[in-house]
Structure 1
Amino acid sequence: MDSSIRTGQERIMYRTGAAARLAGLPVETLRVWERRYGLSEAQRSERGQRLYSAEQVARLGLLKQLVDQGHSIGVLAGLSREQLQSMLGHNLQAQAQPSAPVRVVLVSKVLGRRLAAMGREATGLDVRAQCPSLERLDELPADAEADVMVIEMSELDDSVLPLVAAARQRVNVAAAVVLYRFCPSATIRALRAQGCLVVRVPADLGELALLCRSALGGQRLPLSESEPAITPRRFDEDALVTITTASDRLSCECPRHLSDLLMMIGSFERYSVQCASRNPEDADLHALLARASGQARVILEDAMERLAIAEGLPLPDRQRA
């Protein structure tokens, strides 16, 4: 049975099952993504069936590949097809590099033990030398024959700037990756000005090889911390006011309180994004605030959807689809 439709202009459109199959998605997953994020703005046939263009199917395929690589659908949903393609191309380029492990020098108290426990094949790294801190650089051989220096510290401030420069001078490496957990944005910018790739310690150390290859290629990481991605809102102010008005007949005031929280968090999220773009001194900090409030909003929107369904309250059209 042909599951595609040709329009009057000979434009091929695909029904939900065919679109999901071509994108490599289970139909149920596609429906959940559509309901929560309104991903593809599918058209409707005369019988009310969803129809997807080839371009929309291609975008769904990009989303599937990036989600499989560990990216959050909540973040990806707000990106254009070009941005998704750029992210995927970046990842594929890194994967296409020669399979030989990246030769690294480690400056860390614990990273060496964790990487050793994982093994070279799992990490994609060949540790040539290591020392526990920047203050003990004399323990690093000058002839380590490494490609990348990886420096890991929980807290960073401006005092590390000359130490990082000295470490790179002592060991002749092509690139440096600095990992942190807490760091002022001014220090991050100063380290990046030195040519370092500066990121938070990844939860999965298997990503470290990708970071090292990115540093070697002088590539900018997709979804930079200074460029917060806003997940599309499922409830705008009009929808929240509608829910609040409809909930006045209920003895439970939770819908009204939750609506107030969503309005406040959504407003703070947008405000933080604006601050990140107009305040370069604290761009990374405001980008962090925007991401954190966006994540909180998504969680509360899930709760609001479940609460509205349980109480029989009106949902936006996208949630009913």
Structure 2
Amino acid sequence: MAEIPSFVTDADSGDSSDAFAVGAYRSGVAARLAGLSVETLRVWERRYSVSAPQRSAHGQRLYSGEQVRRLGLIKRLVDQGHPIGALAALSFAQLAQLELPHAVEVSAPAYPMRVALVGTALVRRMATGGRGNLAFDVLRTCDNLDGAAQALNGVQVDVLLIELSELAESALLQIGEARQAVGAAAVVVLYRFCASVTIRQLRSQGYLVARVPPDLEEIVLLCETALAAHPSAVVVARGAGAVPGPRRLDEQALTELMAAGNKVECECPRHLSEILLMLGSFERYSAQCGASNPYDALLHQDMLLAAGQAREILEFAMERLARAEGLPLPVMRPPGIA
């Protein structure tokens, strides 16, 4: 993945000539990209030494792109129930292992990211070009949210990127319809004015919501962060048609998780275990059919690939669910070891 240049992008913080030499984001931008309030970031730094930002000649705190990604990862883990005190000293790799196995590999999606754009100002900004555009493959655009679902229908993208100057609660349904139309792994919604209750509603649906940033490079980082937060981004990052890896949870492991899941009120561990058992069975069945029926071999290879990719995504989801519910994750033995 090409490295994203990190620029000082907080237009409200005064003279930035000295900060550009450092090449970093100021605290307001860093907090926004990570999904935090500036106040929360300062508390975390004061109490837990969660990060060590550089200082400009004027004493302003400056964060690199990697530090911003780490803060965003910590924010997601705290939202999942991990105590901030236990996370603050961990490296990015250690944090990624808590959130999603192999998250270090998928946290930065491969360029270019396939995007669909909604919003006249956003479409115009993308048309001006620049280094940030190298990160995007714009497949389709739409000037307005009204009718966006119809205008974007049929295109498959990684990120649905929406910019609305005034974001009203009435837009929630249209945003959901647009996301469904494009099958986006992630949705980034940019606004200038919006009620806090609407922002909370959007974030509860898994959308990344932020004020319209001044620089395109910041939009790139927002899209990266949004993709990294979604398990379905695993397949996107690996590339279309990627061969799924070996099973992470065999039948014995899933059976143990089902039994442990009966002790909690949430029935999702049991339901997800059942789905994974069925997928594993169908994966084996497809392999057998492809071997025994040469006329339909290609068709069954496609079925085998689809089942394996679905199984891999849901295995990652199961591991995250098990951690969230406090369920013990069985240790898988390497093949051939009794």
Quickly name the TM-score band, shorter chain normalised.
0.3 to 0.5
TM-score of the pair, normalised by structure 2: 0.39
Query: Taking structure 1 as the reference length, what is the TM-score of the superposition?
Result: 0.41
